[in-house]
Structure 1
Amino acid sequence: MNSADLGRRVGVPSTALFTDQYELTMVQAALKAGTAGRHSVFEAFTRRLPEGRRYGVVAGTGRVLDAVENFHFDDEMLGFLRDRAIVDGPTLDYLADYRFGGDIWGYPEGEVYFPGSPILRVEGSFAECVLLETAILSILNHDSAIAAAASRMSAAAGGRRLIEMGARRTHELSAVASARAAYIGGFDTTSDLAAGFRYNIPTVGTSAHAFTLLHDSERDAFRAQVDSLGRGTTLLVDTYDVAEAVRTAVEIAGPELGAVRIDSGDLLLVAHRVRQQLDELGATGTKIVVTSDLDEYAIASLAAAPVDAYGVGTQLVTGSGHPTCSMVYKLVARAGSGDPADELRPVAKKSMGAKSSKGGRKWAARRLDEEGVAEAEVIGTGPVPAELAGRQLLVELVRGGEVVAREPLDAARERHVAARAGLPLSAMQLSRGEAVIPTEYV
């Protein structure tokens, strides 16, 4: 059973009220004006990357597809809207029958993106598309921010294992979404069982300091854990004295001890001392796991340390300083009438400053240099140049209201590895900089 099947098996409640009120009042006004049925094209994109970031990571697409499928108004919701007089009777009738019946194209999950990239394109009537705005942005902004932080941490880890353990540092539902996004971005496991259950992400976990403090001695605690979980378990060794704890751990579990975890102190220094001690005790195969408020910079600083795995919580689930991607959802084209055959007309916001946008239904392609490395994100509204035809980025996700592109979560994870590998090496630098490739409009 793949991750998409698991998501459907758990069941997703209606997402219709995960929206802003003005989406519904716009529909009411458009219905009255006779413009609600005009064929429209909306695009989700970001005008800029978060400060200092060199690429973005698309995550949340699978959750968007779930949200679109489950966007419907039940009797209780309609009663709420009626009792609050949020919309009028004709609009309630429209919402009662609402199901998205349009088309959605987008960058596949796990792909990288840049300023202006049309990450998601939603087509249908104005009314059916505009209702999805808040739900789509909520998911993409959150999940892509977490995935971008995870990707940077994965690059800094240099192949060492990464454990997502931020559930206690965020909302219980965002913790599940964060674990999913982190897995796409390169994390290997999660401590969150709900994420493991819903998305089939590998889960890990052994004990906290409380377990050691519960027992009369550290030796008793280690003995209890090894007796229960086996010699391959991970013992937490920094409750009291690290050196004494490591000695006790190996005495009890023997050289087969799976790992020790260090959660405090100068991690670089302590890791070196623990590795030396483990080796002297014959536990040469015992791994070292470090935790304690890590981010990509702390992980990079431990590159020379004998560390085998990193556990990351707070900084990961808050996007390591950038908890949103600032994506927007804009109308870029619409018909002049409700006639399905009417030609689409480009439209765009023309306000002063950085909030202007470019009209027209867009395609996107990534141009490569002679060595096969990305050199530009090319975006256009006209014919796709022949040399870019095979490099187009948008894929069909929903056709006529039906999801056509569900995939296992591992597919998105593998896609991200390939996409990141196709970027210039400077993309992996943690120093602040501009987007690693330019965006070109043609």
Structure 2
Amino acid sequence: MTRSTALLTDHYELTMLQAALSAGTAQRRSVFELFPRRLPEGRRYGVVAGVGRALEAIEEFCFDDEVLGVLDAGRVVDEATLAWLADYRFDGDVWGYPEGEVYFPYSPLLRVEATFAEAVLLETVLLSIYNHDSAIASAASRMTAAAGDRPCIEMGSRRTHEEAAVAAARAAYVAGFASSSNLAARQRYGVPTAGTSAHSFTLLHDTEEDAFRAQVASLGADTTLLVDTYDIAEAVRLGVEVAGPGLGAVRIDSGDLGDLASQVRDQLDALGATGTRIVVTSDLDEYAIAALASAPVDGYGVGTQLVTGSGHPTCGFVYKLVAREGPDGELVAVAKTSPDKVSIGGRKFALRRRDARGVAEAEVVGIGEPPLDDGDDRSLLVPLVREGEIVGRETLDAARDRHLAARAELPLDARKLSRGEPVIDTVHLD
């Protein structure tokens, strides 16, 4: 099985290439940009995620014998195009918002500069990664903001495609989740993982007490016991009896989580288990997490709503040609002007305008040249690929720290969960 990412694309990317090669325009120097025309409806900001995965995809985008065989057998392109693809290697430059950064309408999240032939082939795979991962991170950011200092655990693997689950765990960690249940995310990206048992483990045993004793004997008293298989109050009593007052945590997965958490907290305290944590799960989203802010909850397990973007499973990013080589070798701005799908021509640069206190005021996008920094601003585009070589690799923790800092500099309205407009405006400078 090949590792190539070259077939994670649309058929028409290759037919465009064939036609451009035939017309003699494939080698024209071109600038493509990946950007959103708008935020998902009602959202006040978005989060950039998937940058590291996109760089891996660019690095592995090649047409080896297996890939060429698929294209040849399906008569996707002609012999001349197959021969060109056999030598394909992306040799261009890529600039982009670093992972974890926040974004707004028309933020130039990615700028790809290469020949048309090299750059157009990356369109689908880049959009696929950015649209998915940024949707998950944007939802996760709202959830971690609502949770405050209480940790969120990603546990949505069983609610989505198996590969999407790994990417979702990674994106959630970038946006502040403490850990994931997904072990492939641990293997590939170093995301911390956590987990203890499900209801099936309790049902396996003759009694709930037998199940608890087996779990504590194996995993220690600091484990988390699932207490809502039968009667919650009885399970809490048994849990403390079996593990002692040092029981690590109990998990509630059904019912009125706020009321139940209060009842369980009172019971644990009365039993002397004052340090035992309460973790709640069960189809939580940012609104449910916010509603539990006053409840004695110590952590949240989030699944379905996270891996589906909490109602917005994609960001609507597009990848458009904004400049290309003209007849005299100069770079010419080009743009789509059809109604409702307007793009803005010209190579873009961006900075986050901030006031003297460091609070974001606007997303400023310069066309053709960088906007001027008045001393309080922050440049947003960083080099990711230079002459085909990956230069933008970084740790996931660096992206995670960046997100927390970028979110913290937004106006306070960014924390509101109610529907609203982007919390800062995007300003284009000619």
In structure 2, C-alpha distance between the alignment counterparts of 1:435 and 1:67, rounded to whole Å: 31
After TM superposition, list the pairs within 5 Å mapping 1:137-286 onto structure 2. 137-286=127-276
Which of 70-79 and 225-234 deviates more? 70-79
Counterpart position of 1:344: 331
Q: How far apart are residue 387 of structure 1 and its match? A: 2.8
SS at match of 1:256: coil
Write the deviation string for residues 78-127 of structure 1: whole angstroms up to 9, x where unpaired: 11111111100110001111110000000000000000000000000000
Which position in structure 1 is the counterpart of 2:373?
387
Q: Compute the displacement of 1:384 (Å).
A: 3.0
Match of 1:333 in 2: 323
TM-score by length of 2: 0.98
**Which residue number corresponds to residue 34 of structure 2?**
44
Out of 277, 293, 296, the residue aligned to residue 287 of structure 1 is: 277
**Aligned positions of 1:113-128 closer than 5 A:** 113-128=103-118
CA contact (8 A) 1:365 1:388 kept: no
Matched, 1:312 2:302: yes
Corresponding residue of 2:427 = 440
| Structure 1 residues 19-69: Cα deviation after superposition (integer angstroms, max 9, x where no partner) | 000000000000000000000000000000001100010000000000000
Instruction: Give the residue type in structure 1 aligned to 2:126.
Output: I
Give the match for residue 4 of structure 1: none
Q: Which residue of 1 aligns with 2:96?
A: 106
Deviation at 1:380, TM superposition (A): 1.3
The question of 1:73 aligning with 2:63 is answered yes
Deviation at 1:161, TM superposition (A): 0.6
> Are 2:408 and 1:421 aligned?
yes
Aligned partner letter, 2:361 = E
The residue number in structure 1 matching 2:393 is 406
SS at match of 2:139: helix
Tell me, yes or no, if structure 1 residue 303 matches structure 2 residue 293.
yes
For the residue of structure 2 that corresponds to 1:439, the secondary structure is: strand
What is the Cα deviation at residue 192 of structure 1?
A: 0.4
Q: Which residue of 1 aligns with 2:123?
A: 133
Question: Does 2:364 correspond to 1:364?
Answer: no
Residues 364, 371 of structure 2: 8 Å contact kept: no
Residue identity matched to 2:41? E
Q: Which amino acid aligns with 1:348?
A: A
Q: Which segments of 5 or more consecutive residues in structure 2 lack a partner in the other structure? A: none
Q: Indicate whether 1:373 and 2:359 are aligned.
A: yes
The answer (yes or no) to whether the contact 2:351–2:371 under 8 Å persists in 1 is no
What value does the CA root-mean-square deviation take over the aligned residues?
Answer: 1.2
Tell me the SS of whatever aligns to 1:25.
helix
Shift of 1:382: 3.7
Distance 2:73 2:237 in 1: 67
- Distance in 2, matches of 1:425 and 1:77, equals 50
Separation (CA, whole Å) in 1 of partners of 2:170 and 2:246:
32
Q: Which moved more, 1:150-159 or 1:390-399?
A: 390-399
**Kindly tell me: are residues 211 and 371 of structure 1, through their superposed partners in 2, closer, same or farther at Cα, counting changes over 3 Å?**
same
Classify 1:320/1:243 alpha carbon distance in 2 versus 1 (closer, same or farther; 3 Å).
Answer: same
Equivalent AA in structure 2 for residue 438 of structure 1: D
Distance 1:154 1:347 in 2: 40
Supply the distance in 2 between the matched residues of 1:312 and 1:210 (Cα, whole angstroms). Answer: 19
On the 8 A contact 1:348/1:357 being kept in 2, the answer is yes
The residue identity in structure 2 corresponding to 1:416 is H
What is the CA distance between 1:364 and its match in structure 2?
Answer: 0.5
Q: Alignment partner of 2:245: what SS?
A: helix
Alignment-mate amino acid for residue 26 of structure 1: M
Contact 2:131 2:314 in 1 (8 A): yes
Q: In the TM superposition, what is the alpha-carbon distance from 1:74 to its structure 2 partner?
A: 1.3
Structure 1 pair 245/192, CA: closer, same or farther in 2 (3 Å)?
Answer: same
CA-CA distance at 1:158 after TM superposition? 1.1
Output the TM-score relative to the length of structure 1: 0.95
Unpaired runs of 5+ residues, structure 1, are 1-10
Query: Take 1:375 and 1:284, find their aligned partners in 2: how far apart are those partners?
Result: 45
In structure 1, what is the Cα distance between the partners aligned to 2:386 and 2:323?
Answer: 19
Contact 1:12 1:70 in 2 (8 A): no
Counterpart residue identity of residue 127, structure 1? A
1:323 has 2:310 as partner: no
Q: Distance in 1 between matches of 2:369 and 2:104?
A: 21
Distance 1:399 1:12 in 2: 25
Question: By how many angstroms is 1:320 displaced?
Answer: 0.2
Q: Secondary structure at the match of 2:373?
A: helix
Q: CA deviation at 1:285?
A: 0.3
SS for the counterpart of 2:5 is: coil
Contact 1:12 1:66 in 2 (8 A): no
Does the 8 Å contact 2:365/2:371 carry over to 1?
A: no
**Number of equivalent positions:** 428
Does the residue aligned with 1:148 lie in a helix, a strand or coil? helix
